[in-house]
Amino acid sequence: MKFGGTSVADGKKLRHVAELVKSYHENGNQIVVVTSALGGVTDAILEEAHEASKEGKVSRVKEFIADLTKQHHAATHESVGDNASTEDIIAELDARIEEIEKALTGICYLGELTLRSIDYLSSYGERMAAPILSGLIRSLGIESSHFTGGESYKKQIRFSIHDYYMATPGLGVMITYAPPCTPLIILPIAADSIQEVTNMPIDPICKREVPPDTPYTSYHEGRTYYFHDTECKKKFDDMAKNIVRVKRSLEDKKKISFGRLRKDIIKPGICAACGACAASCPSIIMEGEKPKLVGPCTACGICYNQCPRTITTEEGLVGSIRHPYAARSALKGVKGQDGGVVTSLLAYALEEGLLDCAIVTVKSEDDPWRPVPVIATTYDEIMESAGSIYTHSMTIQALMNAVLQGMRSIAFVGPPCNIDAVYKIYKSPYGLLHMFMRANIFPLGLFCMDTFSHEGIEEFVASKHLGLEDIESMKIWRGKIELEKGSETFVYDLSELDPYRSSSCKYCTDLTARHAAISFGGVGTPDGWTTVFTRSGRGYEIFHEAVEMGYIESRDLEEKEMARVLNLARMKKVQKYGIIRREK
């Protein structure tokens, strides 16, 4: 008996399957049951893997894992009810889900999705369906156990694996095998688990053992694959090409699939049910007030781009830009966070006499890594201020002091929220405008995703048996935090800092400081470079002068580098959708 996706879509349907199996078993039949994953699970895992390889956002993986857990727990409660088996099933599901989380997190960090990872993840939908179905059958009074593919090999149940793959080419299947008068055996099969227990290479297409000296081999992403015949090799080569193409297309900002509309708009509940997506694509229907994909998606992006709730234009995501660059300091000894461009630009402007001072942020001498906003008036003070401190710095107070001290040309460095404060001072007739009319402020914005409380960072560092006073540099990127102490670098998952994240940052939607004269960030460009957006005419001129005068080296930002910034900017905008709900 073979049960595909729709017949095991949820708890109710699983129960129906189990009852059917029971009735056949009671009639003395010899049964092999093959089952798929719960509804949409395999697709969702693979989609998430693609997103993880592209965006590298661990927090997003966590959200996905929470949904996956909810779906499987709900199916268990719905089908098995609350009895003795339920707890065991849930424990097993949680262990499987943890493995998926680890794999997806790894993909986030590596930024690539290999065939082997796809293969590995493909089987997990079935590996989770297996314990539920097995427990459910047990709860109906029939002895039943489930095994991994590797375990099944050890138990010599080879024929069922082979037969299944002969019948259904593809990965990630689960077999329920029930000879008469014996317990049901449920087998989730994955190619890698088979390889664990055999010395012979396995053809990834037909799953048969192949002699290592087979003439049919392919080399893909650092690994040699062995094939049974030319046909298998051709299938694999086509698939490998396809994966490379899919990866490229995912990087292409124009290729956006329905999955993204579902994730950003439909799932968080901000779809306005206007029906525009369904009207423009035969693969989408409105099911009640919800758009649903019912046919193939070519990732043309039309539904996403025309949805009234998405933000898709470059200007909508990062504000208006005069020109984007990749840049780095051309000065000796600048220890910048990324390319040291902010520091070098300030150094140029100060030495050129364009500035009276700059409002920058340095580390407290008494309390290491506590941010202290200061008025820098010398080259050395500017140099000392290089580097990022991932905590709110009260920069406006220092700016106010500078104005009160009679400074007239002031550069101001801060993340988007600080730049917005300056912007508002100039825009609001009810604010401090009269005071700030006395000074000319040059706002330099830092890209920003989050900040963390000083005490939180301190606690986190202490939990790693380190002291903040010994940490020379701190860098947050690609979902990790890197701490440098002498010649050692300690790397941790950024999600470990979640409890200390500033709550205000959850509500913030501006990544790139759209109201700055120039914005600077690390995302997009390689290590040691800064992404620079010149925005105002003044910003453009001064940046170019600093380049011409040999303070900064620069080149145009490449399209793929810009795409990375746009992706992160989009992520910051949509993350808020999941948080904000209008109160009744």
Ligand X SMILES: Cc1cc2nc3c(=O)[nH]c(=O)nc-3n(C[C@H](O)[C@H](O)[C@H](O)COP(=O)(O)OP(=O)(O)OC[C@H]3O[C@@H](n4cnc5c(N)ncnc54)[C@H](O)[C@@H]3O)c2cc1C
3-state DSSP assignment of residue 358:
strand
Q: Residue 108, exposed/middle/buried by CB under 10 A (0-12, 13-18, 19+)? A: buried
- Straight-line distance from the first to the last Cα atom of the chain, in angstroms, rounded to the nearest whole number: 50
**Of 220 and 564, CB closest to ligand X:** 564
- Interface stretch with ligand X, choices 196-204, 300-308, 443-451, 552-560 (CB under 6 A): 443-451
**Of 17 and 341, CB closest to ligand X:** 341
**Helices 124-139, 84-110: crossing angle, 10 deg rounding:** 180
- Interface stretch with ligand X, choices 10-18, 50-58, 341-349, 536-544 (CB under 6 A): 341-349
CA atoms of 565 and 162, how far apart (whole Å) = 47
3-state DSSP assignment of residue 287:
strand
CA atoms of 468 and 479, how far apart (whole Å) = 21
Total number of residues binding ligand X (CB under 6 A)?
A: 33
CA atoms of 39 and 327, how far apart (whole Å) = 48
Please, what is the minimum distance in Å from the beta carbon of residue 543 to ligand SF4?
A: 22
**Of 161 and 342, CB closest to ligand SF4:** 342
Q: Considering CB distances under 5 to 8 angstroms, the limit depending on partner class, which of ligand SF4, ligand X, none binds residue 281? A: ligand SF4
Q: Considering CB distances under 5 to 8 angstroms, the limit depending on partner class, which of ligand SF4, ligand X, none binds residue 75? A: none
Please, what is the minimum distance in Å from the beta carbon of residue 88 to ligand X?
A: 42
Inter-CA distances, 96 with 41, 124, 230, 236, Å: 13, 7, 35, 28
Q: Which amino acid type is present at position 202?
A: I
- CB of 306 within 8 A of CB of 284? no
Q: What are the strands of the beta sheet with 173-178, ordered from one edge?
A: 2-3, 31-35, 173-178, 184-189, 144-146
**Of 89 and 542, CB closest to ligand X:** 542
Using rule CB under 6 A, residue 361 touches ligand X: yes
Binding positions for ligand SF4, rule: CB under 6 A: 257-258, 261, 265-266, 271-277, 280-281, 283-284, 291, 293, 297-303, 307-309, 392, 415-417, 448-451, 502, 504-505, 508
Q: Which amino acid type is present at position 536?
A: S
The tokens of 297 are what? 């998606």
The tokens of 134 are what? 């097995």
Among residues 177, 226, 390, 460, the one that binds ligand X under rule CB under 6 A: 390
Please, what is the minimum distance in Å from the beta carbon of residue 243 to ligand X?
A: 29
Q: Considering CB distances under 5 to 8 angstroms, the limit depending on partner class, which of ligand X, ligand SF4, none binds residue 130? A: none
CA atoms of 345 and 518, how far apart (whole Å) = 10
Nearest residue to 411 via CA among 363, 348, 333: 348
- Interface stretch with ligand X, choices 27-35, 117-125, 302-310, 331-339 (CB under 6 A): 331-339
- Interface stretch with ligand X, choices 28-36, 171-179, 314-322, 391-399 (CB under 6 A): 391-399
The tokens of 147 are what? 């095994």
- CB of 455 within 8 A of CB of 446? no
Within positions 526 to 555, which residues make up the interface with ligand X, using CB under 6 A? 530
Among residues 291, 301, 336, 445, the one that binds ligand X under rule CB under 6 A: 336
Among residues 56, 188, 291, 387, the one that binds ligand X under rule CB under 6 A: 387
Q: Considering CB distances under 5 to 8 angstroms, the limit depending on partner class, which of ligand SF4, ligand X, none binds residue 321? A: none
Using rule CB under 6 A, residue 521 touches ligand X: yes
CA atoms of 465 and 475, how far apart (whole Å) = 18
Q: Considering CB distances under 5 to 8 angstroms, the limit depending on partner class, which of ligand SF4, ligand X, none binds residue 307? A: ligand SF4
Footprint on this chain of ligand X (rule: CB under 6 A): 336-343, 360-361, 371, 385-391, 393, 395, 413-415, 446-449, 451, 520-523, 530
